[in-house]
Chains A and B, each alone.
Chain A
Amino acid sequence: MTKPQATSRVLTATSGHEGPLLQVDDFRTHFETPTGIVKAVDGVSFTLKRGDTLGIVGESGSGKTVLARSVMGLLTGKNVIRSGSARYNGTELVGASESQLRDLWGTEMAMVFQDPMTSLNPVLKVGRQITEGLRYHLKLSKAEARAQARQLLDSVGIPDPNRRISQYPHELSGGMRQRVTIAIALACGPTLLFADEPTTALDVTVQAQILDLLQRQQIERFMAMVLVTHDLGVVAGRTDHIAVMYAGQIVEYAPTRELFANVLMPYTDALLHSIPKLSQPSHTRLQSIGGRPPDLINPPSGCRFAPRCPYVQPKCTSEMPPLQEAETPGHFYRCWFPVGTDAGREALAQNAALGIPAAVSLTQTLADKPGGTA
């Protein structure tokens, strides 16, 4: 996907700093719970340039939300243990005080949440929820802030902003509420936007509208965006890079086109196969992933996907594969027997020969569809 270079708003915030806008290194977020330590995010690294979009994909419970919130520093609470490093524009966010972070929230980074039904305050008018940030951060007067809010509502595609500005959230439809939360997130001109499943709670038609809106705003404002979703379809056409998460780790990271063209990680492959596609005829058997994600208190010691993986070999359960770079530069994966390689094919054939159901049915699916990924 092509994007215009810097447009209307030019790099003001990044001026002092060379390099990526967001640099996350071996980032961890654990929760202390009565039953043990939940390793929700366990050693994640990625970088994000201004103007780029990173898609984070994974099943529910894989740590996407925790990653986004924790990088931003929104997770407080005594049971949260953050470690590793997350640098925004050169500033270390891990260990920063709440007041340091607060100076960045809204003006430098902002977040759009999953459920627009619950992320707006039900007792405050829409206008107020937009203007409060403007007034606090940009010190606008009441009238200026309102004018700005109207303009924001207009720019996120809300018809009749004059009327909407004095309505309450419950008077708006789900799609419109999500537009409002986007307007709020964009109000103070952040350079980094986290969108945590912004369309999961919405209808397909509205989903398309909202994704379009986010993309347009991102390009216009030359922001960096982290788009979290569990739907590979959502990120396919709208991101520059994709990070696939599984059990708190990034298991595959690549430029979007590269990822879809050369899937290496069996988990990504399985996710892709489990989506029903419009191009398939009706009643096509779906390749589902058996079982469910591992317990994050005691994750498997080797590869975390091993209990569900059709390619699994003895080595996988004993040794955790590192995140390594493939022949194609910029494509990282965490697997001993990657899809589409000789090692992978061999592993799958072996398992199929042993009659392991996941491997058998995957082999069948691949045989049915010669253009498949393997």
Chain B
Amino acid sequence: MAGTGTAHLRDPDDVLMRIEDLTVEFHTSAGIVHAVSGISLDVRQGETLGLVGESGCGKSTTGRAIMQLPAPTSGRVLFEGIDLAAIDGKHLREVRTRLQFIFQDPISSLNPRRKVKDIVAEPLRIWKRGTEQERQARVTEVLDAVGLDPAVAGDKRPHEFSGGQCQRISIARSLVLEPKLVICDEPVSALDVSVQAQILNLLEDMKARYKITLIFIAHDLAVVKNISDRVAVMYLGKICEVGSPDDLYATPAHPYTAALLRSIPVPDPTVVPSSSGLLLGDLPSPIDPPNGCRFRTRCPAAQERCALEEPQIRAVAEDHFVACHFPLVGTTAPISLPMPAGPVSVPTSPSSRTVTGDEMGEQRRMTGDESGNNAGSTASGSVLLIGAGVTAFIVCSIVQAAGGSSMFTMSFESPDNFLLELAMQVTFWPGWLATVGLIGAGVLGLVDRDS
């Protein structure tokens, strides 16, 4: 595998959060998805850790595993020295107030039916912090801090705001409980460059003002460089390289980092984009990742050893760590890669399979696919429900015909007529309710699918 090891971790007493050997696996019908495989990271108080990598490499999963949403398959998450996996639910919820999460899609992550001030105040209400006045004051303060006019914005609802403003609201909401650590999952990916700059500046301001620590997840390397104090590059569930941004971007040691850097479009027409040294192909499937170094199927520098042995993270310079057998450090021009003899002919297992639609990151816009998948099951579920309802209808009719109505003149001479009548009524109403309920649920299922 590519990049286990803890050489890059710092003194545990000196960090706010430390994850050790974190592994997250998802069991799916296609097999086990190895979303995150044994990564270790730490972040100091007041630091911003940038997490970069291609879509589907496990950045969001890592962020969510820190929040224990869902809890990781294995590994430890130490926040202020406490192992989050070991504490009970109540305690964990309490810890989560100091750990906040900001999502990529600013608009859909806010409840459309609530007013902005209620959205922002909600965490305070849940945690019963302060009096109503104190809460309002706090909401006013954070709204103001994120650059929204509390008097105007507070009474509006999210859909009345642009994407950038919604992201400001999300930030305000995450700040209201005075968190220690805020995990931002691609907070600017859905925004325009001009708005992106506003949000990045805002995050820097908030960091300075509220002394928060940030984990900043993004796929845009320039954005990550701009905001981070330390950057970790991920590939297919593994850490490739960790270092300070200026170092790591100037002298990338990992071939993957180098390739990522080369693929960034530069807003300078004198730089002619060259196609040499670009990464080819797609991310392999996380269901059966390549053995040895996970990057070897696309690595221009791969050698036989890379397939046999997983590289361990080691230092290549002061505070610059890499998980590669043949790091590029020392070469100022990253393009002169040590080329393997002939094409990369490492033993290829089925792992050269590429990521298919639904194996990709959840934030890909896959509405089409998802509704499609649901379409079948919801619809057939609906058919079953409606079928059951109709059956219930028939059964009810039988019941009704059999006893209730005087229209059916077959008389019951027997003395337990009254009891029968009672039994009738008892079965009758629930029966009809069930009928209506089942058919209704089925139809709703269909209607839901339509919308």
Contacts and interface: CB of A to CB of B under 8 A. Distances in A.
Q: Do chains A and B touch in the complex (CB under 8 A)?
A: yes
B264 A278 contact: yes
Interface string B259-286: 1111111111111110100111111000
A237 B197 contact: no
B369 A204 contact: no
A205 B265 CA distance: 10
A174 B228 contact: no
Interface string A189-203: 000000000000101
Contact of A289 (B197, B245, B264, B272): B197
A278 B201 contact: no
Interface in A227-286: 230-234, 236-238, 256-257, 259-260, 270-278, 280-286
Interface in B191-246: 192-198, 200-201, 204, 219-223, 225-229, 244-246
A353 interface: no
Contacts of A97: none
Contacts of A176: 282, 354
B368 to A, nearest CB: 5
A288 interface: yes
B55 interface: yes
A197 to B, nearest CB: 12
B192 A282 contact: no
Given A59-B192, A118-B365, A236 B271 contact: yes
A81 interface: no
Interface residues of A, number: 60
Query: Looking at B271, B281, B366, which has the most chain A CB atoms within 10 Å of its CB?
Result: B281
A236 B269 contact: yes
A238 B274 CA distance: 11
B226 A283 contact: yes
Contacts of A174: 55, 360, 364
A117 B361 CA distance: 13
Contacts, number: 184
B356 A236 contact: no
Interface stretch (A165-173, A326-334, A337-345): A165-173
B227 A236 contact: no
A173 B357 contact: yes
Contacts of B227: 282-283
A209 interface: yes
Interface of A: 1, 59-60, 115, 117-118, 122, 159, 169-176, 201, 203-209, 211-212, 216, 230-234, 236-238, 256-257, 259-260, 270-278, 280-290, 292
24 contacts: A117-B357, A117-B366, A117-B368, A173-B282, A175-B282, A176-B282, A203-B55, A204-B263, A207-B263, A208-B273, A230-B193, A233-B265, A236-B269, A260-B267, A271-B194, A274-B196, A275-B193, A278-B249, A278-B261, A282-B229, A283-B204, A288-B195, A290-B198, A292-B164
The 8 A-B residue pairs with the shortest CB-CB distance in the complex, in nearest-first order:
A233-B265, A208-B263, A288-B197, A274-B197, A286-B197, A276-B226, A170-B357, A289-B194
Given A170-B372, A173-B360, A278-B264, 15 more contacts: A173-B355, A204-B219, A204-B260, A207-B263, A209-B278, A209-B280, A233-B267, A236-B271, A271-B194, A275-B222, A282-B228, A282-B245, A285-B201, A288-B197, A292-B164
